Structure 1
Amino acid sequence: MANFSVAAEWQLLGNRFYRKLEIYQMLWKHVDLSRNKVACSPFGGPIAIIRDDSKIVQLYSESARRKLRIFNSAGILIAETVWKHAGGRLIGMSWTDDQTLICIVQDGTIYRYNINAECLEPNYSMGKECFEQTACFEGTLFCVADFKDIKPYKLADPAIGMEDELPHCMAVIEPQYTLSGNVLVLLGVADGIVTVEDDDVRQVESDDLRGPVHKLAVHIMGGFWRDLRMMSALPPEQMAWCELDSVLLYRDDMLLVVGPSEFCISYIDEPVILIPDCDGVRILSNTTMDFLQRVPDSTESIFKIGSTSPASLLVDALDHFDRRSAKAQENLRLIRTSLPEAVEACVDAAGHEFDVYRQRTLLRGASYGLVFFGFGSNFQCDCIQEMCKTLWVLNAVCDSGIGIPLIIQQYKSLTAPVLIGRLINAHKHLLEVVIMHWPSSKITASLGIPDATLLEILLDKLKVCKGISYAAVAAHIPLLLSIGEGDMALTKATESGDPDLAYLVLFHIWRKRPALEFLGTIQARSVARYLFITFARSYKHEFLKDFFLSTGQLQVELGKNPIASKGSPLHGPRIKLIEKAQNHFSETKEHTFEIQHELEVSTKQAIFVDSSITDTIRTCIVLGNHRAAMKVKMEFKVSEKRWYLLEVFALATIRDWDALEKFSKEKRPPIGYRPFVEACIDADEKGEALKYIPRLADPRERAEDYTRIGMAKEAADAASQAKDGDLLG
């Protein structure tokens, strides 16, 4: 049976298995979670850390000044800033859905930071009343329902249900998860739970809620909450839902997973932070980021020890096939009627894995099973292709340099547009593996959407991505051709208004289809028909005759164009260019693919195949592989000017300013120094731009660029040298 010792590390809780997967070894240094205030964003989001000024902390080599530091989930520093705010001790901090960090200090002031540790203006105050209440601990509750429109207000007085005693714990259910559409606060008190809204306080009536409640946890989706009674002398420090049927508790050196009727315990030797997600709990420690989840049904059916499910037998059959064992056929005979079920389970299980090798094994198993389907099967074979695309995205963002660990349910809940927005905010503009996935899917599914509307949707998302390749989006047309969607590709190409793109599709269909079928295809499309006739009148007269004969218009055409009857080709300049372009396309596409495939093998990153020559060179430079970039340049005779532009903007994208300066000094750039200035200013590096502005030959350009970076005196001096009074003014 299929068993890669995967199930050996599972833990049984009741009748369900749980597993803890290691996502990252944390790359930070000298971070002790027990001595810091920590805020972690869900859905693989960033981690904010600031030294807890209520504790004695060993500073190592750090400055005594407190810093707010923001890391990605792998422990790589994104940004940091000195904490300069007065107003008393930092009470707490948390991330909003749009990844704004909210920090509240003791006097009720709210400070907001973006993911780049930039303090956002304006700051807000909860008001004098809030400060006074907080200072004397009278238990009044204040609420901010929307941090995009901060308007603090006071909730109903909860003293009714507390019997003059402060609550033991508190949890909040956000407005989108309540029936009233208002914030709902849960308070654990001496005799159960009290709910507090804008103008209402109620005691929760239930026989299960009698006695003191010491800890409350609300599920991330807001619909479920759970209380904890005194199971020992001390309540846990943290409590978090693990999906919908178990809760994870942490105190000191102990993790406890509590199910409906049983529990299991594990011991740890360092402090942890529990980060609930929609399908599990991330566990952050000083050294690792782990993910605890209930083992998905599809994964359990495949890897459970002793499993004889169709999916398990299918993966096992693949293993035997790889070892050239006849037992592969025996397994397939056993599950032949259940192959669709087995393939679906393998595809689903692949989406729940972080391990790339295991993803590949499961998808290979699914593909292997697909081979044995009957031709009359109604099974949707594109599920494997869609999962491959999705995993391509998830593996890219899970890389430690990006640090957004997601599995498929989290990705679906977050949605691709939100993920793209987060990448843009984090300045990860070159992650085209993700950004290209979205418009390509949009184009494929947009036959019912007017082109103008589709273009507006695409540009609205892509315009903020500096360096994004619009050619890569347009390259979705060849992608449609490669998967046999010629009619859709022809529709999109003719609607684009680009005749060269339309000719590309026409030539492709011409080669792939029988003559009569091709003629029928273009006859139904006026633009395609016109382009074909224009081309054939000057070049393929025999084929033009067939076309007009098939439509009953041959005599009309002979009357218009007598030369067509002779079959003599007219090689006009444009026709020669089109023919030459067609030949080049046929000859070089395979060669391009070979080079790009070699790059993917050597870099172990599936980001080159089907990209343009420009994007291939730029990606090589970004990855530091200049030898490969130079090879592509030489193979495809890229001009020196184009090469310089690609090098400049690629180095600026990765912010390698030393390499950019060295490159500028190798020889006099054929593009001049203006692109160097533009690249630095676009990256908001005014100091770097100053290295190149004095080298601009035109004093007018120097004046304009000095003005752009706010250096008025230097701009005036350059304008004086240009003897341009208007510019000086």
Structure 2
Amino acid sequence: MAGVSMAAEWQLLYNRYNRKPELYLMQWKHVDFMRNKVACAPFGGPIAAIRDDAKIVQLFAKSALRKLRIFTSSGQLICETVWKSPGGRLIGMSWSDDQILVCITQDGTCVFWGNGVVCINEAFGIFAVPDLKNPRVVQLADCKLEDLPHFIAVIEPQYTMSGNVEVLLGVGDHVLLVEEDGVQQLGVGIGPLQKIVVSRTGKLLASFTHDGRLLVLSTDFSNIIFEHTCESALPPDQLAWCGMDSVLLYWDDMLLMVGPYGDPVCYIYDEPIILIPECDGVRILSNTSMEFLHRVPDSTVSIFQIGSTLPAAFLYYALDHFDRQSAKADENLRLIRSSLPEAVEACIDAAGYEFDISQQQTLLRAVSYFAVRFGSQFQRDCIQEMCKTLRVLNAVCHHDIGVPLSIQQYKLLAPAVLINRLINAHNYLLSLRISEYLGMNQEVVIMHWACTKITASLGIPDASLLEILLDKLKICKGISYAALKHEPHSSKQIPLLLSIGEEDTALMKAIENGDTDLVCLVLFHIWEKRPSLEFFGTIQPRPLARGLFITYAQCYKREFLKDFFLSTGQLQDVAFLLWKQSWELAKNPMASKGSPLHGPRIKLIEKAQHLFSETKEHIFESKASEEYAKLLSNQLQNSA
């Protein structure tokens, strides 16, 4: 039977079964991991590939141009562009949480996480960009490195006590924990460590030592959770967590799965693979296929484990007897009558974890045929909800869409985020159908489609295009035309403009309306989304927006305001800000003569004097600043 053959494919790691069903046969051609740099997004996201210029490869006439190509997880080409090497050699490539491809060029090395990145340059300086949506560079403490570390790993800000990123560097026989404010030595004598990977929760580390041992430790290196000696001291090409139950090590043709107890599981591959960690397992991408290695859920084990006598197994196999018109169907049901709710719950749960549609249907048929007759309304609701979820998952997993989400990933991602990703991939029809099926607002999908249609419809007169769009949109009851500028109420129009990325239009509309609350709403949205210089360029020619920003920043973001004034050449305004800071320090009781705050006051005044001296209109202020700085310096010396 199908259940028996399914269980035969499982691998036992101590007392837990694992499986790796094939999700796709890849539809791409001529993608070879030996020749390409590849970046894979989690949650079944897209794959970016570009020829690795660090490797010597044979070029053919039509492949001489270096192209960056984007594929779905099933290998369908989404788009491609000629790589023009902006900024120099490509050293790192990764997808952000928002599925934006980030490429880093020039020299050094880098490590990505979520929406951030840490880089080490040629001079061994360590820099972090905590939020790629607002790329502010932070220099971390100087480690006095003389060579690149054995490894670089990141503990994300959400898992640190300080709320800032922490970087782990393998140096000598220990590890350096580097923050913005300092450096600590950890695990002295435990190394040298060749590789480290941080668990999804940020609480554990999997590391590979110089003498071929896998160590799983707490992030503070105070406790070794378990240790496994590998057959080779050669560090693995890839090291990854598989959920929280096991660690994967990959060398050339061998993938080793190690758990805290028992012998490891070994998988052999005759082509290179890439490990893509997910919240509940690891996707395994090769040149020809995509697999998903994960722990077999308890509900699935209770049904399909060979020799299982649990109620869920009796319920499942009762369906087979029923289809063969065997009396054993009734016999099975009588045996589990008192445990029927438990069996129903297990079959519904197991259906949710299956990628094979026929297996989903069989599990749910087993429930529908027998359990609904005796079950409660609650069980019927559970079956309906699971059917609804599976229809969505099966639709996005189809090879034409190529988003292979497990049910756990889907719940963690949330339907609204999934729909936004489908919209951004221009899968409008599917997005609309899923939104309608789940009872969600379809307006965002329709407006995004309409705006894309407008952008792509070159050569069609505006009036004709608008008439076509409005005629189509009338089908949707209650739709707002804000994104097409036909919504009379700005309070509705502006949030919708922001939701589809029309920030400049939203700002223009808010300023025209004269509502300062709406202008502030748009400003904060643009501020968060755009780089600083681009944000400054957006507000500079707009007096109302500029004035509101300056008023807010004077109270809450003074350093950012200095950057704005410097970018626009308003040196005297920066100087006045420095004066204001100095006077605020003077009000502090700790700023009395000879206190530690007295020195910083002098430095602020000296900086203001230098900036005033750059403008002819502020000679008086420059001279006054110079004399005041001398006065404060004399006071400091006399009090010493």
1:152 aligns with 2:137: yes
Q: TM-score, normalised by structure 2?
A: 0.64
Q: Secondary structure at the match of 2:404?
A: coil
Displacement, 1:147?
0.6
The aligned residue for residue 197 of structure 2 is: 217
Q: Which of residues 134, 142, 152 is equivalent to 1:170?
A: 152
Taking the aligned partners of 1:181 and 1:68, their CA distance within structure 2 comes to 35
**1:315 maps to what in 2?**
316
Write the mapping of 1:580-729 to structure 2, written as runs, cut at 5 A. 674=464
The CA deviation at 1:195 is: 1.7
CA distance in 2, matches of 1:223, 1:276: 16
Using the TM superposition, give the Cα deviation of residue 395 of structure 1 relative to its aligned residue in structure 2, in angstroms. 0.4
Give the Cα separation in 1 of the matches to 2:298 and 2:451: 42
Question: What RMSD over aligned residues (CA atoms) do the two structures have, in Å?
Answer: 3.3
Secondary structure of 2:302's match? helix
The DSSP-based 3-state class of the residue aligned with 2:164 is coil
* 2-structure distance, mates of 1:380, 1:399: 28
Counterpart for residue 37 of structure 2: 37
Contact 1:2 1:312 in 2 (8 A): no
Query: Is 1:220–1:276's contact at 8 Å kept on the other side of the alignment?
Result: no
What corresponds to 1:646 in structure 2? none
Give a deviation string over 1:670-709, Cα, whole Å, max 9, x none: xxx9569958xx9xxxxxxxxxxxxxxxxxxxxxxxxxxx
The answer to whether the 8 A contact 1:2-1:313 is kept is no
Residue deviations 1:98-117, cap 9 Å, x none? 0011100015899x9xxxxx
**Is 2:114 aligned against 1:134?**
no
Whether 2:412 is the aligned partner of 1:401: answer no
What secondary structure, in the 3-state scheme, does the structure 1 residue paired with 2:428 have? coil
Residue 170 of structure 2 contacts residue 192 of structure 2 at CA under 8 Å; is this kept in 1? Answer: yes
Identity of aligned residues (%): 60
- Please list the CA deviations of residues 298-325 of structure 1 after superposition, one character each: whole Å capped at 9, or x if unmatched: 1111111111111111000011111111
Quick check: 2:20–2:293 contact (8 Å CA) kept in 1? Answer: yes
Tell me: CA distance 1:303–1:66, structure 2 relative to 1, closer, same or farther (3 Å): same
Evaluate the alpha carbon distance shift between residue 144 and residue 306 of structure 1 in structure 2; reply closer, same or farther with a 3 A threshold: same
Q: How does 1:478-517 map to 2 (within 5 A)?
A: none
For 1:149, give the aligned amino acid: N
Larger RCO of the pair (alpha carbons < 8 Å, separation 6+): 2
Q: 8 Å contact 1:221–1:278 — kept in the other structure?
A: no
Q: Distance in 2 between matches of 1:140 and 1:109?
A: 11
Q: Is the 8 A contact 2:124 2:148 kept in 1?
A: yes
* Secondary structure in structure 2 of the residue aligned to 1:156: coil
CA contact (8 A) 1:2 1:316 kept: no
Whole-Å separation in 2 of the counterparts to 1:2 and 1:308:
17
Deviates more, 1:224-233 or 1:355-364: 224-233
Describe how 1:59-138 pairs up with structure 2 within 5 A. Answer: 59-60=59-60, 62-106=62-106, 134-135=121-122, 138=123
Q: Alpha carbons of 1:378 and 1:436: their partners in 2 closer, same or farther (altered >3 Å)? A: closer
Q: 1:131-280 counterparts in 2 under 5 A? A: 134-135=121-122, 138-159=123-144, 166-205=148-187, 210-229=190-209, 230-231=211-212, 232-261=232-261, 262-280=263-281
Provide the rounded CA distance (Å) in 2 between the counterparts of 1:678 and 1:61. 45
Q: Any gaps of 5 or more consecutive residues in structure 2?
A: 213-231, 458-462, 473-640
Query: CA separation in 1, counterparts of 2:291 and 2:298?
Result: 20
- Cα distance, 1:674–1:466 mapped onto 2, change above 3 Å: closer
The total of aligned residue pairs comes to: 442
For 1:224 and 1:436, the matched residues in 2 are separated by 42
Amino acid of the structure 2 residue aligned with 1:43: F
Tell me, in whole angstroms, the C-alpha distance in 2 between the residues paired with 1:347 and 1:183. Answer: 41
Tell me how far 1:245 sits from its aligned partner. 1.4
The one-letter amino acid paired with 1:134 is N
What SS does structure 2 have at the residue aligned with 1:5?
Answer: helix
| C-alpha contact (below 8 Å) 2:117/2:129 kept by paired residues | no
- Encode CA deviations 1:178-235: one digit per residue, 9 max, x unaligned: 23211121223332332222113222348xx712111111234544332122322310
Bigger strand fraction: 2
Query: Residue 4 of structure 1 contacts residue 303 of structure 1 at CA under 8 Å; is this kept in 2?
Result: yes
1:462 deviates by 5.0
C-alpha distance in structure 1 between counterparts of 2:389 and 2:48, whole Å:
28
Separation of aligned partners in 2, 1:356 and 1:328? 24
What residue is the counterpart of 1:390 in the other structure? Answer: 389
Q: Determine the C-alpha separation between the residues in 1 that align with 2:78 and 2:347.
A: 36
Structure 1 residue identity aligned to 2:350: A
One-letter identity of the residue aligned with 2:178: V
Q: Sort the Cα spacing of 1:217 and 1:389 in 2 relative to 1 into closer, same or farther, 3 A.
A: same
The one-letter code of the counterpart of 2:175 is: I
Cα distance between partner residues in 1 of 2:392 and 2:6: 24
8 Å contact kept, 2:173–2:193: yes
CA positional deviation for 1:385: 0.4
Counterpart-to-counterpart distance in 1, 2:106 and 2:451: 44
Equivalent residue, structure 2, for 1:509:
none
Tell me the TM-score normalized by structure 1.
Answer: 0.57
Matches within 5 A, 1:512-527: none
* C-alpha distance in 2 between matches for 1:5 and 1:372: 30
Find the counterpart in structure 1 of residue 341 from structure 2. Answer: 340
1:324-473 equivalences under 5 Å are 324-373=325-374, 377=376, 379-431=378-430, 432-438=432-438, 440=439, 442=440, 459-460=443-444, 462-466=446-450
Q: Tell me how far apart the structure 2 counterparts of residues 458 and 125 of structure 1 sit (CA, whole Å).
A: 35
CA distance in 2, matches of 1:125, 1:180: 18
Could you say if the C-alpha distance between residues 109 and 156 of structure 1 is closer, same or farther in structure 2, counting changes exceeding 3 Å? closer
Residue 273 of structure 2 contacts residue 285 of structure 2 at CA under 8 Å; is this kept in 1?
yes
CA distance in 2, matches of 1:304, 1:82: 51
- Counterpart Cα distance in 2 of 1:125 and 1:678: 45
Corresponding residue SS for 1:33 = coil
Deviation at 1:380, TM superposition (A): 3.7
Compared with structure 1, are the counterparts of its residues 59 and 222 closer, same or farther at alpha carbon in structure 2 (3 Å cutoff)?
farther
Letter of the aligned partner of 2:429 in structure 1?
L
Question: Residues 71 and 20 of structure 1: is their aligned pair in 2 closer, same or farther, counting only changes over 3 Å?
Answer: same
